[in-house]
Structure 1
């Protein structure tokens, strides 16, 4: 009897080999690139030269391009990073603060430290706002912040004529960087002005607000 050919024997039903896991040094380099890019996008805007990002990250240009072949890919990763880290700050505040308004206050200041306002100038041009990863991460962030907001209103700590969009608009405006401006030291006022803004959200309300509350649906239409 003729034995089975080596080229076919034992191959039926074989499971495909799993893709190799990235090496630890490759993961570290990727994280260093994203961190450096976040910092430089805040300071100079999303058009900062790639070689400057590589220099800040302490790597070579070839390594940067190996991870991110073009600017769109890097901006996409930075946006996801900012959103993910901000979501984690919201979840931490909800889990660790017993006072609903204090949880909202803690998240707002933490989101400022994550530089969430820097997302605005990055979400322009050819940026794909409908990418599945982005939509999923945005959904996580919106749900986490809405939970904080609803909890504070349910406990009577947050005025009822505002919506979560009001918080996100105020946070974005107060933390949005001004790349290349003549006012490089405005960061030192951010938390002070956020505190003033948050005091205006707490009950009892001290004035009647003009217009209508900004909802998440309003913000999505503006993007």
Structure 2
């Protein structure tokens, strides 16, 4: 059996251009943007787009999977900074803020994913992100900054309820209020 050939460099570049253009086009024009418009924005032929992504659902799922991979990398980088001596609470709060802001920018992509039934299909990245966030929480708990009852599920609750359709000032205020509920200074220990 002949081993699978590695993708050509131009195919890798085209896939990246398509994913970037899809995210931008869906965010700018909404989930109904056409594949022709996405291909044009990527600077590739429609046939090239369809070779990489046979359906719009496949394309949107890949865009969402790329988002999950970026969030995972960010969580792991924050954990690395904690290992290098950064304060865990600061890194966790910074990570939360970045994810909320990125989610606000990508909300049209998420709407498209929901309307098309697209699954991101990146369970390995999701597990890595969950592990890194869990470790950030544990480090902040060890520092005495985060309540011992806080779990990664609380962080997922944050993401699922974030007011991503509100202005940045409202998102920042919401994050401040939510973060206070996680910290030992923000709420009494007996609640």
Alignment TM class, shorter chain as reference? 0.7 to 0.9
2:69 maps to which of 60, 67, 84: 84
Query: Hey, what does 2:99 align to over in structure 1?
Result: 111
| 1:92, distance to aligned residue in structure 2 (A) | 0.3
SS of 2:162's equivalent in the other structure is helix
| 1:62, distance to aligned residue in structure 2 (A) | 2.0
Q: Do residues 168 (structure 1) and 156 (structure 2) align? A: yes
Larger Rg: 1
- C-alpha separation in 1, matches of 2:137 and 2:24: 29
> Contact 1:171/1:194 (CA < 8 Å) preserved in 2?
no
Length, aligned pairs only: 185
| 1:169, distance to aligned residue in structure 2 (A) | 2.1
Normalized against structure 1, the TM-score is what? 0.69
Q: Do residues 52 (structure 1) and 37 (structure 2) align? A: yes
2:21 maps to which of 36, 39, 64: 36
Query: Hey, what does 1:219 align to over in structure 2?
Result: none
- C-alpha separation in 1, matches of 2:77 and 2:117: 33
RMSD: 2.9
2:48 maps to which of 63, 75, 92: 63
SS of 1:158's equivalent in the other structure is coil
SS of 1:65's equivalent in the other structure is helix
- The 1:195–1:43 alpha-carbon spacing in structure 2 relative to 1, beyond 3 Å, is farther
Q: Do residues 201 (structure 1) and 186 (structure 2) align? A: no
- C-alpha separation in 1, matches of 2:73 and 2:173: 23
Give the gaps of 5 or more residues in structure 1: 1-15, 178-182, 211-223
- The 1:166–1:39 alpha-carbon spacing in structure 2 relative to 1, beyond 3 Å, is farther
Report the more deviating stretch, 108-117 or 51-60: 108-117
Query: Hey, what does 1:190 align to over in structure 2?
Result: 171
- C-alpha separation in 1, matches of 2:16 and 2:173: 31
SS of 2:122's equivalent in the other structure is helix
- C-alpha separation in 1, matches of 2:190 and 2:60: 36
Q: Do residues 127 (structure 1) and 118 (structure 2) align? A: yes
